[in-house]
């Protein structure tokens, strides 16, 4: 359950970062443009990293559950 929430939040962060980058194009002042672009890239990178991190954690969790189920079945069969 936690992984699903975290993955959803990371996807929202990616979208927010992209919106900041696109929103920077409508700003007339060059300083604000660079600020929006830097903020958008940073948020996008954090969201992408978080999404990949939680995907790997979920993969490890599923792999561990499968291994535990196999060991339990082997013990019960013996």
Q: What percent of the chain has pLDDT over 70?
A: 92
* Structural contact between residues 17 and 45, judged by C-beta atoms closer than 8 angstroms: yes
Alpha-carbon distance 53 to 47, whole Å?
Answer: 10
* Structural contact between residues 27 and 71, judged by C-beta atoms closer than 8 angstroms: no
What is the structure's pLDDT at 64?
A: 95
pTM of the model: 0.66
Alpha-carbon distance 54 to 58, whole Å?
Answer: 6
* Structural contact between residues 57 and 3, judged by C-beta atoms closer than 8 angstroms: yes
E strand or H helix at 5, and its extent?
A: helix 2-23
């Amino acid at each position: 359950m936690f992984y699903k929430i975290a993955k959803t939040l990371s996807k929202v962060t990616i979208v927010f970062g992209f919106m900041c980058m696109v929103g920077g194009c409508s700003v007339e002042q060059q300083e604000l443009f660079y600020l929006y672009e830097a903020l958008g890239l940073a948020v996008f990178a954090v969201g992408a990293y978080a999404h990949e991190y939680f995907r790997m954690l979920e993969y490890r969790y599923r792999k561990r559950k499968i291994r535990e189920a196999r060991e339990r079945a082997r013990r019960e069969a013996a």
